[in-house]
Amino acid sequence: MNIMIAFQNVSFSYDGTVPVVEDLSFSISGGESVGLIGANGAGKSTIMKLMLGLLTGQGKIFVGDLEMNKQNLPKIRQTVGFVLQDSDNQMFMPTVYEDMIFGPRNYGLTKEQAEARVDRVLNQLGLAELKHRYNHKISGGEKRMAAIATILAMEPEVILMDEPSTALDPVNRRTVINTIHRLPQTKLIASHDLDMILDTCQRVILLSHGKIVADGSADTILRDRALLEANRMELPFCLQGRHM
């Protein structure tokens, strides 16, 4: 399978002394759905920002055939969509529609082309009624779905999601999970919601202090209580076998 994302000996430090990501190497194949897990401060969000060129570290990062550098950045950002943890930070235009056409228009689509794409994505996600709604008037769950829609409107090949299920009620969480299931793109999902990771990812990368502690099948890693607890995590709730 073709390699979609590759990190080769990537290191990064915010202050130049304490490394947040240290000599990290991994690759993700096209169509894979990978969960990025780890305790707070493990480096999950930093890895995503490095992948998008929002932060620059040492080592090499490839997205498809493109190496991360200034020249390739526009193309890379067109290829990789990022769903932010806080949808309020993602939805900065007054309406869902205006937010959705923002990306496609910036990438040269005409208004008609962009609108057709917006309609297609909204219909695909069953969100057509949100199109002309004001961002400040939709619920948290709707906003999260709209944030995913704004990224899908750019037709990225890779989707990065930072905590997509936080602050959602069970029904909205399930809606987001079902949507993730339906997305054919390569996905990298950073989350503490291990139940969701188990549900949506075939592969998991466990991080600790900016290093990969484990990289393998979700079913194996997420069932390894000792490994998870050693890295300040717990078994997914569905595997804990608690009896009330």
Partner 1 sequence: MNKLFHAQSELREMDALAAEHSPIHALHPLCKLFSTILYICVVVSFPKYNFSGLVMMVLYPIIVFQVSGIPVSLCFYKLRIVLPLVCAVGLANPFLDHTPLLQLGTITVTGGVVSMVTLMLKGLFSLMASFLLIATTSIDALCAALRRLHVPGILTTLLLLTYRYIGVMLEEVSVMTEAYSLRAPGQKGIHISAWGSFLGQLLMRSMDRAEELYGSMVLRGFNGNFFYADISPFCLRDVLYLAICGAAFLCARFYDLPGLLGSLFVG
Residue with smaller CB distance to partner 1, 19 or 103: 103
C-beta atoms surrounding 65 within 10 Å? 9
- Alpha carbon distance 195, 97 (integer Å): 32
Residue with smaller CB distance to partner 1, 151 or 177: 151
Residue with smaller CB distance to partner 1, 62 or 82: 82
Q: What is the distance in angstroms between the CA of the first residue and the CA of the last residue of the chain?
A: 45
Contacts with partner 1 by CB under 8 A lie at 52, 54, 74, 77-78, 81-82, 84, 86, 88-90, 92, 94-95, 98, 101-103, 105-107, 111, 134, 136, 150, 154
Alpha helices in 19-155 (DSSP H): 44-51, 73-79, 87-90, 96-106, 111-124, 140-152
- Alpha carbon distance 63, 80 (integer Å): 8
Q: Compute the least distance from the CB of residue 153 to partner 1, in Å.
A: 9
Distances (CA, A) of 127 to 47, 83, 218: 31, 17, 30
Residues 6+ apart with CB under 8 A from 123: none
Hey, what are 141's tokens?
A: 């769950």
Q: Compute the least distance from the CB of residue 162 to partner 1, in Å.
A: 11
Residue with smaller CB distance to partner 1, 24 or 51: 51
Q: Compute the least distance from the CB of residue 80 to partner 1, in Å.
A: 8
Q: Compute the least distance from the CB of residue 89 to partner 1, in Å.
A: 4
Residue with smaller CB distance to partner 1, 23 or 107: 107
Q: Compute the least distance from the CB of residue 113 to partner 1, in Å.
A: 13
